Amino acid sequence: MQRFAGWCVVVGAGLLACRPLFVDPGSPVGESGSSSSGGGASSSSGGSSSSSTSGGNADAGLPAECSGPNKHAPPGPRPVYYGTRAPSYLPLDAAQQRAVIGLAQDAPYNSSCSGTLIAARQVLTAKHCTEGVAGNSLYVLFGVDDTNPEHAVQVSAKHEHPDLDLTVLDLAEDPAATVAVTPIPIALEDLSAADVGMRVEQAGYGVTQTGRSDGRYFVAELFDGFEDTYLVVNGEGQHGVCYGDSGGPSMRIAPAGDVRVLGALGWGDPSCTGRDRYTRVELDRPWIEQWTGPTPGASARPCGSETAQGHCNAVGTVATWCESGALQQRACSSTEVCGWVAAASSWRCIPVAEDTCGGATAYGSCDGQVLHWCVQGTPLTRNCGNCQERCKLVDDTRGYACVASDCGTLDFLGVCNGAVAEWCNDQAQKETEDCAAQGESCGYMGPSTGWYCIPTACGNIDYLGTCQGNVVKWCEGRRLRQRDCAADGQVCRYQDATVGNVCTAP
């Protein structure tokens, strides 16, 4: 297990590069009943709390009392978009999202790379993920959680491109016979300079900003140009792909309105928020089709419950509607936004200057505890926090809304109220755990858990740790760990309220 104060990325042939502040794995410590703070700062257990995003500057200019309408019903069907677990740009249904796979070696869990199911029994990934590895030692994992996948299929053969960083994997069985999954085919159109600036979406099972892998995530970025055999996407210092995302797809909405794979991740910026390079499938489409067969063209899709009025995706960049019995989708250009067209009573791509909603959609969004959404061209706002409510994603149909809550200013990370951990669960309801009742104290247990009971084995030391002289001790994975900073010519000191105490240069 490793402790990071930054992100990492694969550079070159599977090499791992990290941002400067990196702490080596600490050695586990035997059971500890107590620990006094040595040199440097330490976290305090009990009474401390995480900062909450409730209210704050987002409330500025809004009435202090509860007023205004709430959001009750959606204007039409809506795909699932929440955070980065589901796509924020591409209109992928659940079966298509499962086409983004994890790639594991020797066991049917815990992926080390990513890929895409591009045909019924073929997966596209990066060659640097498969070189030197027997094909039948690889497993393709389906589902959000690669540690406990919905389904795993063994690879029966691998085909590595002689020149490009691409591999096609044959699967031993058809995954669709067991799990609902729809392949995402490769693109039929070549990219050109005219496409620079369009939005594309990437996905994979790599490391997140917490320094750990946490299943499958999606991220939308801009196509930034070409570099040798790669297409380049730009996270603009805000987001991106990282170590473990190698082989994963870069995808676009094709001119015909369906989603296509443009390339497989080769390598990227060490910051994991910069420019990342994807090997372009267009450079040798015939080679890929040796194993997949001819790539299918776009076919008419039924409208289902979609109407002629249509809807916008969560971020207002894609319009979807029903026309002549077929589902239509259009990606808005960089000078457009998906908005309400009053004359046609419909949601379509319109010039940014004509958008009366200011970028808001019927799906809505939360700015802290303030809800923003738009109903047929009219922007609406509600301060959930002033109404004893929480702003949250309700479901894939309603989108974001204010829901009744007893959480107050609590968020998911919660607080320690003495020896009692308090937090707001995903149903916007307050939960508590009396740590003292089980012989434990309360402290910060990391960005994925928040403030909770410290395991007995860690004594009173939480994730933020403590400096005892130049030895840093912290609790992670329910075990007390330690590292002697002086052995590496470093010193133990407090970094910040997120990382805690770490070994750094003197």
Q: Which domains does the chain have, with CATH numbers?
A: 31-50+412-504 (no CATH), 56-73+364-404 (no CATH), 79-297 (2.40.10.120), 311-354 (no CATH)
| Residues lower than pLDDT 70 in the chain | 1-65, 67-84, 314, 395-398
Determine how many CB atoms are found less than 10 A away from the CB of residue 39.
17
Decide if 81 contacts 87 (C-beta within 8 A).
yes
Record the tokens describing residue 38, joined without a space: 């040595």
Please provide residue 193's backbone torsions phi and psi, each rounded to the nearest 5 degrees: -60, -25
Q: How far apart are CA 264 and CA 126, in angstroms?
A: 6
Q: Are 214 and 448 in contact (CB under 8 A)?
A: yes
What pLDDT shows up at residue 24?
A: 36
Q: How far apart are CA 340 and CA 356, in angstroms?
A: 8
pTM for the structure as a whole:
0.54
CA distance linking residue 278 with residue 187, whole number of Å: 14
- Which pLDDT value is given to residue 117? 98
User: Residue 272 and residue 240: Cα distance in Å, rounded?
Assistant: 5
pLDDT digits (tens, 9 = 90+) for 202-227: 999 988 777 778 899 999 888 999 99
- Picking from 461, 481, 494, 483, the residue whose alpha carbon sits closest to that of residue 33 is 461
DSSP state of 49: B
Place of tokens 């599977």: 14
Q: Which two tokens stand for residue 126?
A: 């990066």
DSSP E strands: which ranges in 300-388? 311-312, 318-323, 326-331, 336-341, 346-351, 365-367, 370-375, 378-383
Q: Hey, what are 433's tokens?
A: 């755990």
Read off the tokens for 3: 């402790």
Model pLDDT, residue 61: 46
From 118, 95, 114, select the one nearest 104 (Cα to Cα). Answer: 114
Contact 153, 172 (CB under 8 A): yes
Using only C-alpha atoms, what is the Rg of the chain? 25
Cα–chain-centroid distance for residue 321? 27
Please give the DSSP secondary-structure letter assigned to residue 503: E
User: What sign does the CA torsion over 174, 177, 178, 179 have?
Assistant: positive
Burial class for 198, CB neighbours closer than 10 Å (0-12, 13-18, 19+): middle
DSSP string over 206-254: -B-TTSSB-S-EEEEEEEEEEETTEEEEE-TTT----TT-TT-EEEEE-
Sorted by sequence, the CB contacts under 8 Å of residue 67 that are 6+ apart come out as 386
C-beta neighbour count of 134 within 10 angstroms: 11
Nearest to 401 by CA among 387, 418, 413: 387
Tokens (6 digits) for 456:
């007995």
Task: Tell me the DSSP string of 144-169.
Answer: S-TTS-SEEEEEEEEEE-SSSS-EEE
